[in-house]
Amino acid sequence: MKIAIVSDHAGVELKQQVAQFLKNSTHTVLDLGTNGNEAVDYPDYAVLLCNAVLSGKANRGIMLCGSGIGSSIACNKISGIRAALCHDTYSAHQSREHNDCNVLCMGARVLGRELALDIVKTWLNASFLKEERYVRRLKKIADLEKRK
């Protein structure tokens, strides 16, 4: 699977660890930055990540910032993106099975390395269930995106 990954300055170290984990797991990684400690604005990287997912350059995306909150808000402003802020494996699993989330957001200042990697592994291994109730709910979410 091709995974796009981004972070702001607070998530760089964990992003590098997640990217290496993905590569070791035979995934293709599209690292779109940032790669330094100089302060950057996470919405700029959310756009890069979401565009990669929506254009098909990546199958899914992972975004890290300090708390994960700003990243998830920014990603969810982009039509067609369903970003989930996950700090546990249950939420990561449910976000895929029930919500077909295509972007995973995590807080680098909230999670340790091992838990973050477990969340990523869980999220990548879960699949959308495609049951009628979940499909119906996703259609309603897509309808909300069309509102002005």
Q: Judging by beta carbons within 10 Å of its beta carbon (0-12, 13-18, 19+), is residue 95 exposed, middle or buried?
A: buried
Q: How many of the other CB atoms lie within 10 Å of CB of 109?
A: 12
Question: Considering 9, 27, 50, 65, which one is annotated as catalytic?
Answer: 65
98 catalytic? Reply is: yes
- Which sequence positions are flagged as catalytic? 65, 98
